């Protein structure tokens, strides 16, 4: 039903944003509010409409079908924009560059990058997940975080091939719609690879601390996403970054601002388009929705 990705490194890059946000998120104290909306917004200009769909990059097969409004927006759109063009993730050159950014060079090992207590936590989780701890020896800390989270999710049936991005990308290909990527795979790999060693270690610590709660965290996030519960999504995906401004600016704020040009261009076109990006990029004071509202655009949550 969905395209398979055989390279763990490639899958990790596709889901970087969700995994980072899940690792740094606060748990919501309230339950998601049921309503008739979804995490889909429609922006209107004098010439066209642009749809903004907040994506969950990893889901379960049981999360389908998606809310009808999302398929309706897809049917109307003539041009689709994703964070990354998923075909590009399959190229040998892209995969080689990802691996280069994911692993340590020379004689350096993970033990040189993190303290002994954190290293022992990695080994303990490896044992729990049924993999050899030595597989992490040459990985950079952020790649260890990605791999552990993916292994944990896979055991619960939560996989990237069930993500919103993969679902609509496949549909777009089958229907021969125009598809573009807002970023390259290599750029996404650099986002975490270029963070300071301290922040990478902090993120690994957060991942390990929250790994046992990951299923619950993602379940709460998915429920809020499905009903368009913006308040809960902001609590989960934005407030957790308070103490980590470098990570937040790198992973969210700077990228949102760069994408605005592409969105403005689409609003100046004559045919409808659909942007599918991680839902964390749409909500909050630095989110794309708020940025567009400040520029005077009329926006409707569907």
Over range 9-37, report the average pLDDT: 47
Angle value at C-alpha 230, between 17 and 41, nearest 5 degrees? 85
Residue 59 has what DSSP assignment?
Answer: B
Phi/psi-derived region of residue 230, left when phi > 0, alpha when psi is between -120 and 50, beta in every other case: alpha
Among 34-48, 103-117, 167-181, the least confident range = 34-48
Q: Is 159 helix (H, G, I), strand (E, B) or coil?
A: strand
Which phi and psi (to 5°) does residue 47 adopt? -110, -20
Beta carbons of 98 and 257 less than 8 angstroms apart: no
Q: At what angle do helices 16-24 and 197-210 cross, to 10 degrees?
A: 70
pLDDT value for 40: 98
The residue among 170 and 210 whose pLDDT is bigger is: 170
Whole-model pTM: value is 0.86
Instruction: Give the pLDDT confidence of 263-284 residue by residue, as tens digits.
Output: 999 999 999 999 999 999 999 9
Between strands 40-44 and 49-55, the pairing is antiparallel
> What is the average per-residue pLDDT within 196-213?
83
Mind listing the pLDDT tens digit for each residue in 39-63?
Answer: 999 999 999 999 999 999 889 999 9
Backbone angles phi, psi at 282, to 5 degrees: -100, -30
Residue 71, token pair as written in the block = 């398929």
Instruction: Give the angle subtended at the CA of 68 by the CAs of 84 and 18, to the nearest 5°.
Output: 35
Section 111-120 average pLDDT: 96
Distance CA 14, CA 290 (A): 25
Strands (E), 56-144: 79-84
19: nearest Cα among 255, 135, 192: 192
**What does the pLDDT read at residue 26?**
52
CB contact at 8 A, 149 and 160: no
Please state, in angstroms and rounded to a whole number, the distance separating the CA atoms of residues 87 and 83: 12
CB-CB contact of 114 with 201 (8 Å): yes
DSSP class of residue 139? B
Query: Domains of the chain: which residue ranges?
Result: 8-301
Polymer length in residues for the chain: 302
Band (196; pLDDT cuts 50, 70, 90)? confident
| Separation between Cα atoms, residue 181 and residue 223, nearest integer Å | 27
| Averaged pLDDT of the chain | 85
Asked whether the bond before 277 is cis by omega within 30 degrees of 0, the reply is no
Confidence band of 113 (pLDDT split at 50, 70, 90) = very high
DSSP 211-225: GGGHHHHHHHHHHHH
pLDDT (tens digit per residue) in 238-258: 876 777 788 788 889 999 999
Output the CA–CA distances (angstroms, integers) from residue 165 to 14, 53, 151, 224, 241, in the order listed: 9, 10, 20, 18, 24
Which 3 state secondary structure label does DSSP give 68?
helix
Q: Is the pLDDT score of 7 beyond 50?
A: no
């Amino acid at each position: 039903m969905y395209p398979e990705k055989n390279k763990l490194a490639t899958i990790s890059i596709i889901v970087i944003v969700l995994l980072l946000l899940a690792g740094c998120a606060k748990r919501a104290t309230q339950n998601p509010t049921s309503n008739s909306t979804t995490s889909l917004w429609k922006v209107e200009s004098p010439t066209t409409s642009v749809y903004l769909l907040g994506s969950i990059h990893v889901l379960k097969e049981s999360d389908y079908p998606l809310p009808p409004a999302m398929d309706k927006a897809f049917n109307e759109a003539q041009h689709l924009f994703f964070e990354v063009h998923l075909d590009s993730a399959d190229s040998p050159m892209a995969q080689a560059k990802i691996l280069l950014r994911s692993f340590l060079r020379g004689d350096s090992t993970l033990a040189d990058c993190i303290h002994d207590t954190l290293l022992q936590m990695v080994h303990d989780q490896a044992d729990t997940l049924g993999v050899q701890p030595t597989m992490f020896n040459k990985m950079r800390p952020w790649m260890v975080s990605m791999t552990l989270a993916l292994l944990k999710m896979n055991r619960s049936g939560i996989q990237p091939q069930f993500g919103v991005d993969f679902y609509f990308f496949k549909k777009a290909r089958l229907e021969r719609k125009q598809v573009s990527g807002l970023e390259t795979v290599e750029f996404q790999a650099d986002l975490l690879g270029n963070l300071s060693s301290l922040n990478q270690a902090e993120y690994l610590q957060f991942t390990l601390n929250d790994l046992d709660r990951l299923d619950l965290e993602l379940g709460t996030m998915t429920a809020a996403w499905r009903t368009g519960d913006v308040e809960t999504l902001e609590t989960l995906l934005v407030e957790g970054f308070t103490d980590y401004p470098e990570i937040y600016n790198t992973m969210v704020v700077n990228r949102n601002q760069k994408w605005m040009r592409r969105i403005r261009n689409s609003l100046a076109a004559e045919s409808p388009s659909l942007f599918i990006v991680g839902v964390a990029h749409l909500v909050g004071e630095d989110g794309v929705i708020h940025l567009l509202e400040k520029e005077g655009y009329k926006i409707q949550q569907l």
